[in-house]
Amino acid sequence: MALIDAEQYQTAIAVLRAMDPQSDAEAAEVDRALGRIYLGLGKAGKAAEFFEHALTTSLDSEAEAYLGLAEAKMALGQLAQARRHAETVLKTDPDQLHAHLVLARIDQRLGREAEATRRLETLARQRADSEEVAVMLARYTARVKSAATAAERLGLFLRQHPDSAEASDMLGQLYWEMGRKADAVKYRIKAGRLFLERGRDGRAAAIAQWLQNVDPEGRLIPRSEADAPPASLPPPP
């Protein structure tokens, strides 16, 4: 659903609640969409309810509902249930990227560093073009090694995929952590514009708010951005 992808969650909720599903499959689809929205809003308990209801309503797109439920249970700290649901997804689709990412995050939270590293490195080899894998691996590397090591690796990914919004944003955050503030601002401005181009106004506005907080006078904006300042981003919320 385009409204969900654009993170226009309240509008999406209103649209979904106004729908009149004509079959169990359509009702389950609405439940799954609402589950995704509440995950995005950080309301994992509510999200889990919708994913569970979707599973009892229809078996269509069962894997998608189990995956959403795995993410919700992980957010709630119910890691054993989250692992079980993610593994259920992989039984029907062994290549499901998000299920592997859920398992890697669970391993991280349980302190199983070797397992998490092995899974993420395997994903990085198999999904070299995946933005999600690159960003998650960067977060993990920053935690277990250093922000500098993570930034170096993510920079290599961005050379191949310069229009990656998530990777640009993550690199900006890593640079900020390293004290490279001008580079951080540069990459986060770039990320904000990429998010805006993709209709993800919520993410772009969050970056605009961050920029206003950390650099209200625009002193950190690189010269190359001087003729196109971050006013092209949406105003902060």
Mean pLDDT, consecutive 10-residue stretches, the chain (237 aa), reads: 75 91 93 95 96 92 94 97 97 92 94 92 93 93 94 97 98 97 95 92 90 88 56 52
Whether the Cβ atoms of residue 199 and residue 2 lie closer than 8 Å to each other: yes
What is the model's pLDDT at position 80? 97
Same domain, 48 and 157: no
Helix or strand run (H / E) with residue 155: helix 147-160
Could you list the residue range(s) of the whole structural domain that residue 8 is in? 1-102
Cα separation, 233 vs 208, in Å, equals: 6
What is the model's pLDDT at position 233? 60
Query: If DSSP codes are grouped into helix, strand and coil, which group holds residue 19?
Result: coil
39, 71, 102 — which closes off a domain?
Answer: 102
Best CA proximity match to 80, nearest among 122, 121, 88, 132: 88
What backbone phi and psi angles, to 5 degrees, belong to 18? -85, -10
What is the model's pLDDT at position 216? 87
Whether the Cβ atoms of residue 202 and residue 164 lie closer than 8 Å to each other: no
What is the model's pLDDT at position 227? 47
What is the model's pLDDT at position 24? 92
CATH of the domain at 20: 1.25.40.10
Same domain, 98 and 179: no
Q: Is residue 113 part of a domain?
A: no
- Contacts (Cβ under 8 Å, ≥6 apart) of 40: 4, 7, 9
How many structural domains does the chain have? 2
What is the model's pLDDT at position 223? 64
| Residue 93: count of CB within 10 angstroms of its CB | 11
pLDDT digits over 90-115, tens only? 999 998 999 999 999 999 999 998 99
What backbone phi and psi angles, to 5 degrees, belong to 9? -65, -45
pTM: 0.81
Same domain, 130 and 234: yes
Q: Is residue 110 part of a domain?
A: no
